[in-house]
Every structure is written in C-alpha cells, then in structure tokens.
A and B are shown apart, each in its own frame.
Chain A
Amino acid sequence: MSSWTLVLVASGLAYVTKLAGYLVPESWVEGPRRSRVLTLLPVALLAGLVAIQTFGGDGGSLHVDARLAAVAAAILLLLLRANFLVVVIGAAAVAAGLRALGWG
C-alpha cells in the first residue's frame, strides 16, 4: 500500500479502537471484579510499555544499555518526588551523557 494509504488506514483503525471504548455499554464494566480488572489494566499496559521501551530492540530482542540507567535515574527522581518534567529530562540527560561517554 502507498504511504498515504498506510497513514490513513492506521489512523482510521486507531480512532475506531479509541471510540469503541466509549460505545461499550456501561453495564459491561460494572461489578467489583470487572472494575478492579479495569483499574489494573493501565497499570499492566504501562508496565509492559516501560519494560519494552527500556529493554526492547530490533525484532523484540532485549538489550541492557543506557536506557536502563536512565530509567533507574527516573525512579530515583520519582522517589525524591521530582516533577514529571524533571524526571523525563533527567532520564534523557543520563542516557545522553552515558552515550557521549561511549556506553549504551
């Protein structure tokens, strides 16, 4: 498919997926168990994203590099109750610094 077809199809599917979450009847998500699953859902997906963004490489291979040090720095900053922006910039700086020194 052409690049524009690809961009538009991917965007259309993404939007339909987003909207579907709003069209599901509310009764589907009632009850303590379902509610708990839904509450934990973003926790699971965000944790998965952290793992993949930290270790993931080409074709799903796993690597330890400067990103791990950056996430460790982020956790340290979070423990120190740093602001979101400080956490993100601090982590990027750690990764950039390590790479400038020739690691990761």
Chain B
Amino acid sequence: MSTTAPDAEGEGPREGAHPAYTGMEPSTRKAVLRQSLSVGIATGAYGISFGALGVASGLSILQTVALSALLFSGGSQFALVGILGAGGTGSAAVATSTLLGVRNGLYGLQTSRILHVRGLRRLLAAQVTIDESTAVAVGQEHRAEGRLGFWVTGIAVYVFWNLMTLIGALAGNALGDPQRWGLDAAAAAAFTALLWPRLRSRDAAATMVLAVAIALLTSPLLPVGVPVILTVLAAVVIGLSGGGRHEPPTEDPELDDDEFREGVPS
C-alpha cells in the first residue's frame, strides 16, 4: 500500500513536524506493526478451535478451511458450525451467520472513511473488514496509522486464521475438547482486549454497559446471534443523546474521527 502523505513534497520529512501531515515516525510505525501482528497471531491462535469445532460439527476438512478462507469472520463461523453441530437446520445456520456478519458491514462504514479505497483494493479491503482489523484501524490516532493497522492486521489475521484452521481441522479429535484448552475463553478475552482501548470516553463506557445489558437480557429470548446485533441500539441511543456533555456540540474532542475526516471532500 502506498501511503502518500498530503503536503509531503516541498518540505523534507523531518522529525517533529506536525504528525498529521508527515509520514509516521519509525517508532509509531513499529508500534502499529507490533500491535497488528500480535492481534493477528492471537486471533489466529483460536482459529485452531474453529478448525476442530468445524470438523466436529460434521463438515469436511476442506469445507471447514473454505469457511475460514471465504467467509472469514470468526463470530459468524463459530455460529455456523455451532448450530450445525447442535443439529440446527442449514438455513438457521446461514441466517445466524449472516446476522452476526452485519456488523462487518457497519465496520465498513467506518473503515471506508479511513482507507478511501477503490477498485480491486476495495474488494480486498471488504474481505478483511472484521472486528480485529477495524478495532486496530479505528484505535489509531491518525489516518495513516489507521490504514497501516487495518491492512497489516487484516492480512495477518487472514493468514494465521486460515493456517490455524487447517491445523485445527487436521488435528480434529486428536486435540480433544477445545474447552479443555480454554480456547473458548481465549475468544472472550480477545474481544475484551479489543474493546479495552476504546473505553476512553464516558459515552463509550455507557455504550458498553448498555450493550452488555441488551445482549444478556435478550440472549435467552431471541435466536442465537440476534442479541449481538441488537446491541447496535446501545450505540444509537448513546450516540444520539450524547454530545453536549463536555463542550459545545460543534467541537467535540472525544470525537477522534475528526482526524480521519481531514482531506475528505465534503
């Protein structure tokens, strides 16, 4: 990916210049790369549990690997094989998987503002638009870092997730119960770690509390997968009602996204 910093020409890259207008400093770049790779490796690690569960649900090794390569969204994949493994119908499995995947479309609304991709790159970006790549991209202070984080995380997760899915599928029953190894808990911990850095504002904390309440209260009542989608309501309610809490509505420093909006033709 070529990251052409605006206003880069005419003034040589020098350290200490305004960070929004220069390339990344090496230390920043290194930090983003390190974060992206560790997210990729950690996420890939629980691809092992998906591979094992996929084969256990009755899919072939090839079908299990195909899900990781083509569907490539952990929550949807786990939901799909979970419902199949529990004896659910194919359409219920597909519906739940798709409902869980709706959040990726919502993530795309955010990442498209950071990436500004067209053509083939947009088609590729869409495939790697998942929880992890979005979280790393949106968690960066500036757009160039966000772009780097998105691509490196997306590709790293893709590679490790598929590799580990294959290993998990091959190991299959040899691994035994994935729960014995705490792999289900690893998934919960990974989502916690991705959520953590985004809880800096009071609005975010309020959204989290409301979302957890919605998910837990509706989980026993609604089809698997729907409660997570319903948490969108938490973001809508808090997002629309917040604002004047800190300062005039025109300038809200909590709104990190202003950084990303620079250079966007309005």
Q: DSSP majority for the B interface?
A: helix
- Most chain A CB inside 10 Å of its own CB: which residue of B125, B182, B211, B239: B182
CB of B27 within 8 Å of the partner chain: no
- Shortest Cβ distance from B82 into A: residue: A58
Number of A-B contacts (CB under 8 A): 325
- With the chains together, A38 CA to B198 CA distance in Å? 13
Q: How far is the CB of A38 from chain B (nearest CB, A)?
A: 5
Interface size classification for chain B:
35 or more
B216 touches A51 (CB 8 A): yes
Chain A contact residues: over half helix, strand or loop, or mixed?
helix
Q: Is the CB of A39 within 8 A of B224?
A: no
Complex Cα distance, B110 from A41, in Å, reads: 9
Tell me, in angstroms, the Cα distance from A39 to B136 when the chains sit together. 13
Are B188 and A53 in contact (CB-based, < 8 A)?
yes
Q: Which of A45, A53, A56 contacts B232 (CB 8 A)?
A: A45
Question: A14–B72 contact, CB under 8 A?
Answer: yes
Is B127 touching A18 in the complex (CB atoms < 8 A)? yes
Per-residue 0/1 for A49-79: is the Cβ within 8 Å of any B Cβ (1 yes, 0 no)?
1111111101111100011001101110010
Mark B residues whose CB is within 8 Å of A.
35, 38-39, 41-42, 45-46, 58-60, 63, 66-67, 70-73, 75-76, 80, 84, 86, 90-91, 93-94, 97-98, 101-113, 117, 122-123, 125-127, 129, 131, 134-135, 138, 179-196, 198-199, 203-204, 207-212, 214-216, 219-224, 227-228, 230-236, 238-240, 242-243, 249-250, 252, 255-257, 264, 266
